[in-house]
C-alpha cells in the first residue's frame, strides 16, 4: 500500500471540567487523521516540529505506540508545543483559546535539517495536509510547501487537501483565499466542507463549491454538506452519499479527521469513491459517540462496510 505523509501540528490540549479543574491531552487535525490511518492499517508518517521538553517526548512516544512514523519530526531545543484550552457552555457548545504563535512547527521549513524533510515530502506517495496546515507557516515557508506539493504531483504522487478553515489562524481572509486557491490547484483529492468555504468566502453553496473544485482541476473530491451527507465527485461523475445511520453525538471532535482517514484508507485499498465515503461516514459516526478526538482502540469498528452499533454513553 502507498505510504502517506501527514503534515501539521499537534498541541497540548487542556479541557476544562465542570468542577473547574483541567484534564490534559494532545490534539491536532492532521495528527488525528494520521492516528486513524495507522489504526486502519495504512503506512503513515507525521511531519512536524516539536521541542525537546517532556511534553514533546510524551507526544512522540504516544504516536509511535499508535504505529505513526516519527522519523520526520524535527526537535528544537528550548521550544515548547502549542497549547489550547477547551471550555464548554451549558448547551454543550465549545470555545477554544490558543497559545501557539511561537510553536516549533512554524519553523519546520527554516531549520538545518529542513532539506531532509523536504526530500521526504517530495517523494511521498500521498501527501496529506489541511487548511490549518497552510495557516501554520509564514509566506516564504508556505511557498516552500507549495513547491513540495507541485513536486509530488509532477512525479505522479497524490496531494490530499482537507479544507479545514479556522479564521483565527489567518491574519485576514484574503491571504487565506489565495492560499486555498493554490492548494486546490495542486491537489489530486480534496475533502471540502461547505461550512469551511461559507466562512472563507462569506457565502457558498454546494453547487458553487463543486464548480470551484472542477475549475481547479481536482481529480476527486468529497463535498461535506451542512446536513448529514456528502457529495462525491470523481472525474465527470457526481453522486450524493447520505449518512447511513442517524447518530446522536457525544463529542464531535475529530469527526472530519476520522472521516478523512477512513476515506483515504479505503481508496488506497481499492474501494470505490462511494464506498470510501460510506467508510468515512461510519468511522466518524463511531468517533462522535465517544468523548475526545482519539477513541479507545477497542471502540474502533471492525468493519467499515456495515453500520456500527448503538450509541454509547459518555
Q: Which residue has the cell 461510519?
A: 282
Q: How far is CA 41 from the centre of its chain?
A: 17
Contact partners, residue 50, CB within 8 Å, separation at least 6: 10, 56, 59, 60, 73, 74, 75, 76, 79, 81, 104, 105
Distance CA 7, CA 134 (A): 10
CA triplet 293, 136, 150: central angle to 5 degrees? 105
Sign, CA torsion 118/103/160/2: positive
Q: Are 168 and 98 in contact (CB under 8 A)?
A: yes
d(CA 109, CA 143): 10
Q: Under a CB-based contact definition with an 8 Å cutoff, are residues 284 and 33 in contact? A: no
Q: Can you read off the three cell numbers belonging to residue 111?
A: 531549520
CB burial string 133-151: b at 16+ within 10 A, e below? bbbbbeeebbebbbebbeb
Active site residues: 257
Amino acid at each position: 500500500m502507498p505510504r502517506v505523509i501527514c503534515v501539521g501540528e499537534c498541541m497540548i490540549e487542556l479541557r476544562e471540567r465542570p468542577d473547574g479543574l483541567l484534564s490534559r491531552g494532545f490534539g491536532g487535525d492532521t495528527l488525528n487523521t494520521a492516528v486513524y490511518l495507522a489504526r486502519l492499517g495504512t503506512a503513515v508518517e507525521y511531519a512536524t516540529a516539536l521541542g525537546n521538553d517532556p511534553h514533546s517526548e510524551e507526544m512522540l512516544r504516544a504516536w509511535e505506540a499508535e504505529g505513526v512514523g516519527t522519523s520526520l519530526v524535527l526537535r528544537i531545543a528550548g521550544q515548547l508545543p502549542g497549547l489550547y484550552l477547551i471550555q464548554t457552555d451549558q448547551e454543550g457548545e465549545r470555545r477554544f483559546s490558543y497559545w501557539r504563535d511561537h510553536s516549533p512547527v512554524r519553523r519546520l521549513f527554516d531549520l538545518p535539517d529542513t532539506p531532509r524533510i523536504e526530500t521526504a515530502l517530495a517523494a511521498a506517495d500521498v501527501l496529506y495536509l489541511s487548511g490549518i496546515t497552510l495557516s501554520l507557516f509564514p509566506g516564504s515557508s508556505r511557498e516552500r510547501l507549495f513547491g513540495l506539493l507541485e513536486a509530488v504531483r509532477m512525479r505522479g504522487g497524490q496531494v490530499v487537501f482537507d479544507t479545514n478553515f479556522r479564521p483565527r489562524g489567518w491574519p485576514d481572509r484574503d491571504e487565506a483565499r489565495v492560499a486555498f486557491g493554490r492548494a486546490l490547484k495542486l491537489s489530486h483529492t480534496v475533502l471540502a466542507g461547505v461550512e469551511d468555504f461559507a466562512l472563507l468566502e462569506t457565502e457558498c453553496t454546494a453547487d458553487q463549491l463543486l464548480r470551484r473544485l472542477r475549475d481547479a482541476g481536482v481529480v476527486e473530491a468529497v463535498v461535506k454538506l451542512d446536513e448529514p451527507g456528502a457529495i462525491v465527485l470523481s472525474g465527470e461523475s457526481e453522486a450524493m452519499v447520505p449518512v447511513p445511520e442517524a447518530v446522536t453525538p457525544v463529542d464531535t471532535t475529530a469527526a472530519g479527521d476520522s472521516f478523512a482517514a477512513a476515506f483515504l484508507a479505503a481508496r488506497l485499498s481499492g474501494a470505490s469513491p462511494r464506498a470510501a465515503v460510506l467508510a468515512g461516514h461510519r468511522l466518524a459516526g463511531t468517533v462522535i459517540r465517544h468523548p475526545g478526538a482519539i477513541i479507545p482502540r477497542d471502540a474502533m469498528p471492525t468493519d467499515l462496510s456495515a453500520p456500527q452499533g448503538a450509541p454509547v454513553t459518555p
